[in-house]
A and B are shown apart, each in its own frame.
Chain A
């Protein structure tokens, strides 16, 4: 199976290129990027062919592509891939607007190609352990959740993450969708209401998007869940950030730290401690699922609709932050 990467705008693309090379029967075809400097840089770094255009890469006959463009550029690339009959794994958030997300889902469905949203946390070993225990009834019914997906300012790695036109927003757009997806998966229920407060105190001199955000979601089954999506980890924190949650159930509570499987490393050269993660690579498992779904001609574990549903919550959070009151999501129906 031949797989290409469309754009290296997203920081995950580098890791994906390495992940692909470890999967038997998969050939990393190469990459294309609308930023030629970035394209040359990463082609050289990955030791992979650089195609002169997205069209040229798609003409080289890939079976699938990973779309790692800036958030607002996902739609044209996914539509192009779908038109070429190529399966797509699309970075999160699926798009920056709901019409764009719907359009790229429709394009893939119409072309009969697989569309998977890149939600790697579904493949986190600690989070899968919790899913299994929930489904086995070991933890009791969930009543509430207190979650965080905090990070450092992502502009440190890619400037476009804090450009509202390209990213679709700030911390809310960047760090809400992972936990929305995990909670929808755990609860098998949809979000029906969103409340949010945001601010711009952290990194105020550098960026013009929200850097602090607190959300409260209510699910159809009455579960309420808060999400702290703030870019509140400083650059000198031991790691990039993290994802944690406390699930409160009829039996008590379960506290989970998805990225706690670290070594604490003190290096003379760095003068501050760092956490070196030794836990299983969720991205690797996510890519293996994408490829397995294509090979087995079955839907992937995470769909395009899952990406759309998470985006709806992020958009509702912006509406709530603007109005100061909770926003209803009138979208009855069971989880996909």
Chain B
């Protein structure tokens, strides 16, 4: 299986390392920045390409790691060429785009896999499997949180342009919207507030959302671009009628560095808590995608899941904008 990565940024780099752990061949990396494409490709004995179009003929699978607003046209182009598609989250910038992408891939007879990596983090996967196994009864109230610092990007970078990235709710909060739905089922209503909406231009951003699931469970989702670097922390709590699961990354990290300055002028390394595992969740994800595409094995996240998460995130943004609760229309693509 020949793979081409589109986008040589942070996520393209992460996926390239993961592909190296599979039996697939990374043929090339496409990026409009030729140096970035060649720089990443060389590390894996692959070639740099200037564009998606330039690499399409060389690969079986296109792995799209580009800015969010480019996902739509790139997935359509890959599907039109009959290539299997992996696409980073969020699926697209609008639900209509996402629906068109799913339809195009179905029509072309190619798979579309969305990289909602939180489903592959061992703590999140374990918590969900405990719920599925009935260990805590029926989920009633979920609390999900993740946060770090505002992405440190240059002025003009796509990430800080809400039109292109969708901002905090679409880029970060969507992880937990997807997870809430994975654990507690389809979402019926969304109500949200965010500093980005209530105080545009504030030095921090923070969002809170209340979801009501069709089955009656409630989810509280929090996302922060507010903490000082290098902080990044996540938390989950699932209260069921037969038990409770709690996780807080900062409290449960197995390693805490408390090192004095090394004398070479470095600052004290109090770094972020570290939680090493044998395999990066990104590698677990790409391995599962590889097995799905190469061997037809089952995969834990589908394009339809990506569409449903996108719909929740966009509804949260709409709610934060209008101040009203937003009721979600059932998606015909998603089987209840």
Contact = CB atoms under 8 A, between A and B. Distances in A.
A232 B141 contact: yes
A248 B225 CA distance: 10
Contact of A197 (B193, B206, B212, B243): B212
Contact of B227 (A213, A214, A250, A253): A253
Interface string A278-304: 000000000000000000000000000
A144 B220 contact: no
Contacts of A250: 202-204
Contact of B222 (A146, A249, A251, A325): A146
A144 B193 contact: yes
B241 A201 contact: yes
B174 to A, nearest CB: 18
Residue among A143, A144, A193 having the largest count of chain B Cβ atoms under 10 Å: A144
A251 B204 CA distance: 8
B218 A252 contact: no
A233 interface: yes
A268 B206 CA distance: 44
Q: Is the interface of A mostly helix, strand, loop or mixed?
A: strand
A228 B143 contact: yes
Interface in B174-204: 189, 191, 193, 195, 198-199, 202-204
B221 to A, nearest CB: 10
Contacts of B212: 197, 199
A204 interface: yes
Interface in A100-139: none
B239 interface: yes
B141 A204 contact: no
B210 interface: yes
Contacts of B265: none
B226 A252 contact: yes
A214 B239 CA distance: 13
B323 interface: yes
A230 B237 CA distance: 12
A203 B241 CA distance: 6
A228 B220 contact: yes
A78 to B, nearest CB: 34
Interface string A224-250: 101010101110010000000010111
Contact of B217 (A143, A195, A199, A224): A199
Contacts of A202: 140-141, 239-241
A264 B138 CA distance: 29
Contact of A195 (B216, B218, B325): B325
B172 to A, nearest CB: 14
B160 interface: no
A249 B203 CA distance: 9
Interface residues of A, number: 38
A212 B208 contact: no
A43 B203 CA distance: 57
B140 A199 contact: yes
A113 B244 CA distance: 46
A226 B241 contact: no
Contacts of A211: 140
A206 B307 CA distance: 38
A270 B193 CA distance: 43
B14 interface: no
A199 B217 CA distance: 7
Interface string A197-226: 111011110000001111010100010101
B42 interface: no
B324 interface: yes
A204 B241 contact: yes
A326 B193 contact: no
Contact of B324 (A199, A214, A325): A325
Residue among B138, B204, B228 having the largest count of chain A Cβ atoms under 10 Å: B204
B224 interface: yes
Contacts of A213: 218
Contacts of A224: 193, 198, 208
B145 interface: yes
B141 A230 contact: yes
Contacts of A212: 140-141, 218, 239
A36 interface: no
B220 A214 contact: yes
B241 A216 contact: no
Nearest to B195: A143
A61 interface: no
A232 B140 contact: yes
A201 B241 CA distance: 6
Nearest to B216: A199
Contacts of B206: 143-144, 248, 253
Given A198-B218, A216-B208, 14 more contacts: A197-B218, A201-B139, A202-B141, A202-B240, A212-B141, A213-B218, A214-B220, A216-B193, A226-B220, A226-B222, A232-B140, A232-B244, A253-B227, A326-B325
7 contacts: A193-B323, A199-B216, A201-B217, A216-B193, A224-B198, A230-B239, A249-B204
Top 4 closest A-B pairs, CB basis?
Answer: A201-B140, A232-B239, A224-B193, A248-B206
